[in-house]
Structure 1
Amino acid sequence: MSELPTDGVDFTPGPLERESRFYVAGHRGMVGSAIVRKLEAEGFTDVVGQSSSELDLKDRDAVFAYFAETKPRYVALAAAKVGGILANSTYPVDFLSENMRIQVNVLDAALEHDVERLIFLGSSCIYPKFAPQPITEDALLTGYLEPTNDAYAIAKIAGIMHVQAVRRQYGKPWISAMPTNLYGPNDNFSPQGSHVLPALIRRYDEAARAGDASVTNWGTGTPRREFLHVDDLAAAVLHLLEHHDGPQQVNVGTGSDVTIAEIAATIAGVTGFEGDTAWDTSKPDGTPQKVLDVSNLATAGWTAQISLEDGLRSTYAWYLENADRLRE
């Protein structure tokens, strides 16, 4: 990637006013709902959001009308169409088109209505498939993307560029953050649309309940992945808004990783599954390793607090408590 141009934004981060209106786009999703919980716990008194049935973020006129009516001072753009390897591989047009429209509409409306502080949330899949590990922010656009989710990644890269362009052209102190693999309450546990960790939780839970002798997972189990609890991400979002400014995206993660086989074994233990685990090596592994360099986040004064085992246990408890309303 070419050297990041100086954008000339003159802004010193500080505490956000707790009484000002804060719009969380995607407030009912896993990420958005965690941000809402964090904001309310930190004393924000005017947090707003609309469900997809109330406001279709792909509808440009509706988004602009919503901003004109609500006039938020702060925005967290957490709305996105997301999914695992199967969904991304099967529906690349949907992942590219829907995410581009959501981002462009929200960012353009936020600019039109003079939003002061905005954070755009992307994904670590923006980085090249074979980026040096751990992945630094400078790795962006230095190599080919992972083919199984390149359409989604391109949309998120466009969002980063959109935020940087707003900074350069209009001097807005907007920022971007790129979380690693997330999990936690309100995740998507559906067999067709989930990411690896919630998919494994559901698979092992159902196998344990059925008394199955074995579970078969995709791939070889050797890829290494980093996982961050969504409540940690929400804490990082608020911290970055109050303590960081700059044009470059900031990696958000733990800085450590585990193999898929290791995470599967941990989930098997958490769910009480006592059978064997097999691996279908005809299915794709995806990126061989993906762990983020979180040095810039640490420099900004934040590190993850929730351990993987604690996070998995609390997520599994949430899964059991909400089994009757999970997405299919």
Structure 2
Amino acid sequence: MEKNAKIYVAGHRGMVGSAIVRKLEADGFENIITRTSKELDLRDQVAVFEFLETEKPDYIFLAAAKVGGIVANNTYRADFLYENLQIQNNVIHGAYLNKVKKLMFLGSSCIYPKLAPQPLKEDYLLTGLLEPTNEPYAIAKIAGIKMCEAYRDQYGCNFISVMPTNLYGPNDNYDLQNSHVLPAMIRKFHEAKLEGKPEVELWGTGKPMREFLHADDLAEACVYLMENYSESQLVNIGTGVDVTIKELAETIQKTVGYEGKINWNTDKPDGTPRKLMDVSKLNGLGWKHTIDLKEGIEKVYEDFKNNIVRKM
């Protein structure tokens, strides 16, 4: 990307989009376009097309999406499918209409079959049934991947897709009703410590394994791939290392300094047994993560105390 290129980051207030903006600014890109959801509703086709026609961005990072954890995904199934399809359809087709040089679509590791072999290779897409609890979100993301491939095939568009693993970092969502597992645990342990609670309840058995990537590492990978990758197949972005949910909980408990007990509610669902990315393709392209999980959790907890707690 040229330093004076006009770059639109869709979803710049979210954890992923804000990390991409920080990375671009650190790298000297100054012509970055952003719009809040109030300024531009990406579900509104007319508004999106008018925006892209007016601004004419050279590059687009499509990081805007309706996201959430198991509870949100399973409760608002129609919303997750409809809104994400609307957002990506409008931006991707609008990018084609306005001759955007390159677009990056960000998906999610939930696109892979629930019982796919581990680690998850890019080739495993559409080889089995999805995890039921987040199937609508996954289907929307799969449609986005295939849309980028189709626009490349039919129109020659340089649209690429990347699949991040589970993410955490600054600007994460700490709402217990619709947050992901790591930020939810941070808030639960923090509040239990402040309130002197003897135990914290967590869902499931603690046995499922998950991989976690810091948002700043993801942003580095996204910018790197935008500048160095232009093929049709999606690219996994992750660490290639996973931990059990129990190990994650114990690491967060220690970081927060909570000395009570963890009560695992086994009546609640575990979700997918394991989701570990095969990142050999990404590593082969010349990129590897630099923030390990323990360090990342310490950074995020400091951000939570300094910036998030005050807003609650």
Out of 233, 236, 250, the residue aligned to residue 218 of structure 2 is 233
Partner of 2:145: 160
Query: How many angstroms apart in 1 are the aligned matches of 2:236 and 2:123?
Result: 10
Out of 206, 220, 242, the residue aligned to residue 191 of structure 2 is 206
Deviations 1:11-48, CA, capped at 9 Å, x for gaps: xxxxx101110000001110000000000000101011
Out of 99, 113, 126, the residue aligned to residue 114 of structure 1 is 99
The alignment partner of 1:24 has SS state of strand
Out of 131, 134, 155, the residue aligned to residue 149 of structure 1 is 134
The alignment partner of 1:103 has SS state of helix
Q: 1:309 and 2:294 equivalent?
A: yes
The alignment partner of 2:205 has SS state of coil
Query: How many angstroms apart in 2 are the aligned matches of 1:287 and 1:81?
Result: 20
CA RMSD of aligned residues (A): 0.6
Q: How high is the sequence identity, in percent, across the aligned residues?
A: 57
Partner of 2:11: 26
Out of 84, 87, 90, the residue aligned to residue 99 of structure 1 is 84
The alignment partner of 1:261 has SS state of helix
Partner of 1:243: 228
Which consecutive aligned stretches of 4+ in structure 1 deviate over 4 angstroms post-superposition?
A: none
Deviations 1:65-117, CA, capped at 9 Å, x for gaps: 11011110000000000000000011100000000000000011111100001
The alignment partner of 2:175 has SS state of coil
Query: How many angstroms apart in 1 are the aligned matches of 2:310 and 2:128?
Result: 43
Out of 51, 55, 60, the residue aligned to residue 40 of structure 2 is 55
Query: How many angstroms apart in 2 are the aligned matches of 1:290 and 1:158?
Result: 20
**Aligned residue identity for 1:226:** E
Instruction: Say how many residue pairs are matched.
Output: 311
**TM-score of the pair, normalised by structure 1:** 0.94
Out of 246, 256, 266, the residue aligned to residue 271 of structure 1 is 256
Query: How many angstroms apart in 1 are the aligned matches of 2:91 and 2:306?
Result: 33
Out of 25, 33, 58, the residue aligned to residue 40 of structure 1 is 25
Query: How many angstroms apart in 2 are the aligned matches of 1:187 and 1:34?
Result: 11
**TM-score of the pair, normalised by structure 2:** 0.99
Query: How many angstroms apart in 2 are the aligned matches of 1:174 and 1:156?
Result: 14
Q: What is the Cα deviation at residue 324 of structure 1? A: 2.3
Report 1:47-86 matches (<5 A). Answer: 47-86=32-71
Deviations 1:122-145, CA, capped at 9 Å, x for gaps: 000000000100000011000000
Q: 1:223 and 2:208 equivalent?
A: yes
Alignment gaps of 5+ in structure 2 = none
**Aligned residue identity for 1:234:** A
Q: 1:287 and 2:287 equivalent?
A: no
Alignment gaps of 5+ in structure 1 = 1-15
Query: How many angstroms apart in 2 are the aligned matches of 1:82 and 1:173?
Result: 26
Q: What is the Cα deviation at residue 154 of structure 1? A: 0.1
Q: What is the Cα deviation at residue 174 of structure 1? A: 1.4
Query: How many angstroms apart in 1 are the aligned matches of 2:283 and 2:30?
Result: 29
